[in-house]
Chain A
Amino acid sequence: MAAGSGGGPADRGEIRRHPLRNLWRLRRYLRPHAVEFGWLMLAGLAATGAGIAVPLVAQRVVDGPVARRDLTGLFLLAGLALLLGLAEALLIFIRRWVQSSSSVAMEAAIRTDVYAHLQGLSASFHDRWPSGQLLSRITSDLSVLRRFLSFGLFFLVLNLVTYLVVVVLLIRLHPALGMLVAASAVPLFLIARRFGRHYHVASRRMQDQQGDVATLVEETAQGLRTMKAYGRGPQLAARFAASTEALHDTGIGKGRLLARTSALLDLVPNLTLGTVLVAGAAAVAGGRLTIGQLVAFVSLQLMLIWPVQSLGWIIANGQEAATAADRIQEVLDTRPAIADRPVAIALVRSTVRGRLRFEGVGFRYPGSAVPVLRGLDLTVEPGETVAVVGATGSGKSTLLSLVPRLHDVSAGRITLDGHDLRALRLASLRGLVGVAFEEPTLFSMSVWENLTLGRPDAGEDEVRAALALAQAEFAYDLPWGLRTRLGEQGLSLSGGQRQRLALARAVLIRPAVLVLDDPLSALDVHTEALVESALKRVLRNTTALLVVHRPSTIALADRVALLEHGRITAVGTHTELLAGVPTYRGLLSAEPAAASIAGTPTSTDPTPGGSPLVLS
C-alpha cells in the first residue's frame, strides 16, 4: 500500500515565480512586531558594537596605562571595559527576550489562522488532504519559520552589515588587497546561490516526506484495531520503515549538501587569507606596505570568518523557511469551495416552515467522472418525514450531505422554503439543519461538550430531554456523568451508545430540518423501538430526511423515496411502494425470494471462484 504519496493534491515540485515570494507574503505577521523588531535590531547592532569595543579597550590598556605605568588610567579603562561588558550583556538580554516573545507570538498567530482557514474549507478538500500533511504544516513548518524569524533573519542582517563594514575598512586600509578580499565575495555568492537552489529542493522534499510520515502515523492510529485484529503489525512496520527510509535518505542528502557547502565556505576565506598573506608579504618586501599595516589587515580580515562561515547555516535556514512558507501558503491560498455569497441571507428560525426541495439535482465528487446523483427531484413538505431507500452505494449519504452544504450540488438546486441553499448564509443554514451521520463523530472531550457541539449555550434541561429522547441516559451513569471525558472517537462506548449520543446531539439544536443517516443501525430491536417512538414526537413538526436500511425504521416516515441510479424513481407511502414497486420490495423484504435488484449483485453461489454473478 502506497504511503498516500504526500502533499495531497498540491502540485509538488511546481516552480514558483520566486522562491521567496511566499515567505515575503508572510510579512503581515511580522507587521504587529515591526517596532519590536526595529528595537531588537538596534540592540543587536549595539551589542555587537560593544562586543567589538571591549578588545579595543583592552588593547588601549596594554598600549596606554600599562606601558605608562598609570594605575588610575588602568582602573578607568578597566571600568570602561566593565561598563561595556555589562552593556553588551544587557543588550543581548533585551534582544533575546523581545525576540522570543515576538517570534512565538507570530508562530501562534499563523497557526491560529491556518486552523481557522482549514475549518472553513469544504469536506472535499479534507477528503483529498491527509490530516498528517496538514498537521506537519502547523507543527514542523511553523517551528522552522519561527527559527528563521528569531535567528536566521536577524543574523542575516547582522552578518551582512558586519561583512560590508569590514570590507569597507579593508579597502580603506589597503585598496588593492581590500579589493582582493571584496572579490572573494564572488565565489562566495556563487557557492551560496548554488547551495540555495539545491537545498530548496531537498528541504521541500524533506518537509513533504515528514508530512507523509505524519500521515502514515495518523492512519496507523486510525486503523489500530484492524491491524491488531489481523496481526499485521510487521506489514505496517515495513511500510513505515520504507517511508522513514526515504526521509532518512533525504536527510543524508541534505547533510552532504550542507557539509560540502560549509567546507567550501571555510575554504574560500582561508585561500583569500593565504593570498593576502603572500601578496602582502611581497608588498612589504617591496616596501609598499608596513608590517604593522599587514598585521592590522590580517586581523581585521579574521573578523570576516564567522559571518562567512555562518552563511551556509543561514541560507539553509532561510530556504527551509521559504519552503515552509510555501507549504503554509498552499493551505491558506486554497479558497473555500463552499462559502457565503456576498449577499447571502440569514433565515430566522421561527419563520422557517421547512419546505425542502431538490430540483434536478446532480452531483459528482471533484475529480470523479461518474456522477453520483443526476436530475434528482424530491420535495419534502414542512413537517413531513421522508425516508430515502436505496441499495448500498446508491448515493443516499451523498444526498444527505448536500443539505447542510458539506458539498454543493454540481447541477440543479436545493431550496429551503424557496431559498436556494447557496443563497443562505452557511451559519444560518447549518443552524437550521440537524445532522446525525451513520458513523457518529465523537471527540475526546467531555460528554457535555460532545452533546452541545451545535449549541454551546444549551441548558441542562434541554440536554436532559435530548438524552431521554435518544435513550442515552446511560451518559449519566458514566463515572463523572456528563463531565466524563470520552475516549478518542468515543471508542470506549459501544456502537449503539455512540449512535444514541449522536442522535441526542442532532435533536438538541432544535432543527427545522433533521437529516439522519441510518441513525439506528447499531441499536438492538428493543432500544430501537423506544428511540423510534420518542423520535416520532420530534418528527411530527420537523421536516426530516432519513436514510433507512431497515423496514422497522421506515415506520417513522410519512413517505418513502426510492433512490436508484442517482435519481428518485418512486415516491409514495411505504404500503404503496411495497405494492407497486418490485425494486422497493426487493430492497426491504427479508424474504430471500425477492427478485434481483438493479445494480445490486445477487448470487446464489457464494463460494469463491463459483459461478459468475448475475446482474439484472
Chain B
Amino acid sequence: MTAASAVPEPPPEADPAHWRGVAPDPNADRSLAEDSDPAAVARLRARSRALLADVLRPHRARLGTAVALLLTQNAAAMSGPYLVMLGIDRAIEPLRAGEPGPLIAVAVSFAAAAGIEYAARRGFLTISARIGQAVLLDLRRRVYAHFLHLPVAFHERYTSGRMISRLTSDIDSIAELVDGGVESLVMAALTIVSVAGILLWLDLPLASVTLLAFPLLFWLSRWFARASASAYRRTREAMALVIVHFVESMRGIRAVQAYRRQARNQHIFDSVNDDYRRSSRHAFHLIATYSPGIKLIGNVTVAVVLCYGGARVLGGDTGVGVLAAFLLYLRRFFEPMQELSQFYNSLQSATAGLEKLAGVLDERPSVAEPTRPVPLPDGPARGAVRFHGVSFGYRPDSPILTELDLAIPAGQTVALIGPTGAGKSTVAKLLARFHDPDSGTVTLGGVDLREVADAELRRAMVLVTQETHLYGGTVADNIRFGRPDADDAAVEAAARAIGAHDFISALPDGYATEVHRRGGRLSAGQRQLVAFARAFLADPAVLILDEATSSLDVPTERLVQQALGSILRDRTALVIAHRLSTVETADRVLVLDRGRIVEDGPPAELIVGGGRYADLHRQWRDSLL
C-alpha cells in the first residue's frame, strides 16, 4: 500500500457493509445465470449442456479422429508391457542358442509401437487443441455478439465489469479444462471400463467384492458434484464482483486519487477479494476431500481384495497368479480414478463458467430485432417522426412519460427544452430505440420502430450525446465510425464542415493521431467536435442531439451552430440543449415538464407569450454578456 497507507482507516461506523447500495431487485445486475432459484438452475444446466453440444457439433468429424487416435495410442501403449513379456519369455532362449531373430522381431515391434504411440499422441493432442481453441473462439464470439445485441437497458444494470468478467475469467475457466482435461477423461474412462471387464473375467466373486466399491464411489461423486457446482457458481460470482470493482476504480482513478479514496477502495477491494478467496478456498477444500476420498475407497478395496482373495487362494478357490494379476489391475483401476477426480474438478469449474455464458446467451433482448422488417420509405417522408400515445418508465412504479403525442414532419428542426429530469433524454432514447415504449408507438417515416431492421434504423438516424466515446485508434478512424466506407477526403470534409479540422491538423500526427485510452489527450470539447464530425459523416435522415454542445466554448459552439444551420437543412432534427442559442435557430420549440409537453410553437411566437419558454429565454438573455 503506497499512498493508501498515508490515510487512516475509515471509522467502522462509516463503513456500512452496504456500500454497493440497494438496487431495484437483488438480482438486478445479474443475468439469469446468477439466479439462485433451483428451477432456474436446473433450466440453466440444461441450457449450458445444449450450448456445449452446439459448439461441439461442427467438430464431430475431428472428434471422431481424435478418439480413433487416442484408441491407437492406447493400444500402442498397452502393447509395450506385452512386448517386454515376449522379449523375456520367447527371445532369450533362442538368443542363447545363437538365434537373434526373435529378439530383433521384438525390438522392431517395440520400436514400431513406440513410433505409433508418438505419432498418435502428437496427432491427438494437436487435434484436441484445435477443437478446444475453436470452441473457445466460437464461445467468445457468440457471447460478444450477443452482448452487442442486448439493449442499453440490459447493460445499464449488468455493468461492464460483469460483461468483462464473462468474456475473460469465465472463458478462462473453460480454457483450463480444454487445455488438459479431455485427454485424461477419455484415457481414464477407457482404462476403467477395460480393467473392470478384465477383473470380471479373471475372477467373478472377487470382482463382485471389488464392485461393492462402486456405490460408495457413486455416492461420493454425487455429493461432490452437487457441492462443487454451487461452490464454483459462487466463485464465478465473487470473481465478477472483484472485476467490477477493479474496472471501476481504474477507470475512475482521477476521482479516486483526487478524493484520497484509496484507503476506502482498498477496504472494499479487500473485502470482495477476500470473498473470492474464501469461495475458491471452499471449492478447493471440496476437491481436497473428494480426491483423497476416492483414494481411500481404492485403498480399502485393495486391502479387502488382499484379504478375501488371499483367503480364496488359501481355500483353493483361485490361483496365486490370479490374485497377483488382480492386485496389479486394481491399481490400474483406481489410478485413473484419481485423474478423473481431478478432471471432474476442472469440469465443475468450467461448467459454472459455461452456465454464466449460457445465461447471457439466454437473455432475450427487450428491444428485439424484427422478424419481418418493414423498409423505411425513401424520399422526404423518410424523416417524419411520430410519438403516438407513448408511455414509458425505467421502473414500473415511476413513469417518466405518459401518453406522449408528438408529430415532427420530415425536415423540421425541433428543440426540446425543460428542467433536468423532465424526460428530454428519455424522448431522445426512445426515438433512437435504446428502449421500446411501455405502451404506444414511435414511428419513423410512418413505420413503427419495432418493425425497422436495426441496420436500416441506424443508417436513417443518429443520436449524439454529451458522453462522447472515442474508440482506440486514430482520430480519422473515430470520425469514420459514422460511415465505415468513407475515404480520407470525406473524413476531412466532415471535420472541416464542423470546424474540427484546425485542431485535428494541429495534433502531432493530424488525422492519424491515436486518441489513446478513452480519448485521454483530447479535451472534452475536442471530443465533442469529433463526435459531431462523426455524426455529420453518417449523414442520417434524422439527427438527435442530446446536449451535444455542452462542453464547447462559446466561439466553437457558435461555429458548430453555423454548421448545424446547413447540416440540419434537409434533415429532421431533435435538439436538446440548455443553451438557448441552439434553440433559437430551431423551427419549433417544445417545452417538456414531468413527461408532458407544456408548450409547443416556433421560438419567435413563444417568446412573445408569457409562458415557460419566454421565462427561460429571458433568464438566458440575462446570463449573456
Contacts and interface: CB of A to CB of B under 8 A. Distances in A.
A454 B559 CA distance: 39
Which among B169, B259, B463, B536 has the highest number of chain A CB atoms within 10 Å?
Answer: B259
B558 interface: yes
A597 B555 contact: yes
B529 A392 contact: yes
B129 A282 contact: no
A430 B274 contact: no
A339 interface: yes
Interface in A252-279: 252, 254-256, 258-260, 262-264, 266-267, 270-271, 273-274, 277-278
A36 B130 CA distance: 40
Interface in A44-94: 54-55, 57-58, 61-62, 65-67, 69, 71, 74-75, 77-79, 81-82, 84-86, 88-90, 92-93
Contact of B299 (A88, A139, A302, A589): A88
Q: Which of A84, A227, A509 has the most CB of B within 10 A?
A: A227
Interface string B354-372: 0000000000000000000
A213 B22 CA distance: 32
A392 B277 contact: no
Contact of B273 (A112, A425, A495): A112
A581 interface: no
Q: Which 4 residue pairs spanning A and B have beta carbons closest together?
A: A255-B129, A231-B458, A85-B299, A446-B21
B259 A483 contact: no
Interface stretch (A101-109, A375-383, A537-545): A101-109
B110 A116 contact: no
B586 interface: no
A277 B106 contact: yes
Interface stretch (A156-164, A165-173, A598-606): A598-606
Nearest to A390: B553
A523 B466 CA distance: 12
A140 B171 CA distance: 10
Q: How large is the interface on B (under 10, 10 to 19, 20 to 34, 35 or more residues)?
A: 35 or more
21 contacts: A58-B306, A81-B302, A89-B295, A93-B289, A96-B288, A130-B472, A139-B169, A139-B243, A219-B472, A231-B457, A248-B134, A255-B132, A267-B117, A277-B110, A438-B551, A439-B524, A457-B10, A521-B550, A529-B619, A551-B625, A601-B500
B222 interface: no
Given A66-B313, A426-B3, A427-B260, A86 B92 contact: no
Contacts of A433: 258
Interface string B461-484: 011111111111110011001101
B114 interface: yes
B555 A248 contact: no
A278 B471 CA distance: 67
Nearest to B274: A108
B223 interface: no
Contact of A606 (B130, B550, B563, B578): B563
Interface in B407-423: 417-421
Nearest to A395: B523
A269 B204 CA distance: 36
A431 to B, nearest CB: 6
Residues of A contacting B: mostly: helix
Given A127-B516, A259-B125, A485-B22, A96 B550 contact: no
A126 interface: yes
Nearest to A105: B277
Contact of B10 (A119, A456, A522): A456
Interface residues of A, number: 220
Given A118-B250, A138-B246, A240-B144, A406 B257 contact: yes
A229 interface: yes
A255 B125 contact: yes
Contacts of B259: 430, 435, 453-454, 505, 509
Interface in A239-257: 240-241, 244-245, 247-248, 251-252, 254-256
Given A97-B288, A259-B121, A446-B20, A525 B159 contact: no
A263 B80 contact: no
Given A58-B306, A438-B551, A259 B129 contact: yes
Contacts of B522: 393
B247 A218 contact: yes
Given A66-B313, A487-B157, A587-B554, A258 B129 contact: yes
B121 A392 contact: no
Interface in B393-428: 394-395, 398, 417-421, 424-425
Nearest to B124: A259
Nearest to A232: B481
Interface stretch (B54-62, B146-154, B191-199, B213-221): B146-154
A549 interface: yes
A521 B551 contact: yes
Nearest to B560: A606
Contacts of B253: 119, 123, 126
A600 B552 CA distance: 12
Contact of B88 (A259, A281, A340, A601): A281
Contact of B555 (A78, A266, A525, A586): A586
A457 B20 CA distance: 17
Contacts of A610: 496-497
A492 B164 CA distance: 20
B449 interface: no
A365 B107 contact: no
B3 A89 contact: no
Interface stretch (B45-53, B323-331, B382-390): B323-331
Interface in A122-147: 122-123, 126-132, 134-136, 138-140, 143
Nearest to A522: B550
A313 B180 contact: yes
A509 B172 CA distance: 42
B43 interface: no
A322 B332 CA distance: 34
Interface secondary structure of B, over-half rule: helix
B250 to A, nearest CB: 4
B299 A220 contact: no
Contacts of A369: 508
B464 A229 contact: yes
B72 interface: no
Given A1-B471, A240-B141, A251-B129, A217 B168 contact: yes
Interface string B290-312: 01110110111011101100110
Interface stretch (A15-23, A185-193, A290-298): A290-298
Given A75-B307, A112-B273, A115-B246, A474 B421 contact: yes
B145 A252 contact: no
A111 interface: yes
Contacts of B556: 391-392, 600-601
B84 A228 contact: no
A1 B472 contact: yes
Contacts of B252: 441, 443
A341 to B, nearest CB: 12
Interface in B525-550: 525-526, 529, 531, 534, 536, 538, 547, 550
Which interface residue of A84, A406, A480, A550 has the most chain B CB atoms within 10 A? A550
A334 to B, nearest CB: 11
B588 interface: no
Contacts of A590: 554, 558, 581, 624-625
Contact of A222 (B6, B160, B254): B160
A132 to B, nearest CB: 7
Interface string A507-535: 00100000000100111111111000000
Nearest to A403: B258
A174 interface: no
Interface in B42-101: 80-81, 83-84, 87-88, 91-92, 95-96
Given A120-B2, A226-B481, A480-B21, A550 B579 contact: yes
B310 A78 contact: yes
A271 B536 CA distance: 71
Nearest to B474: A1
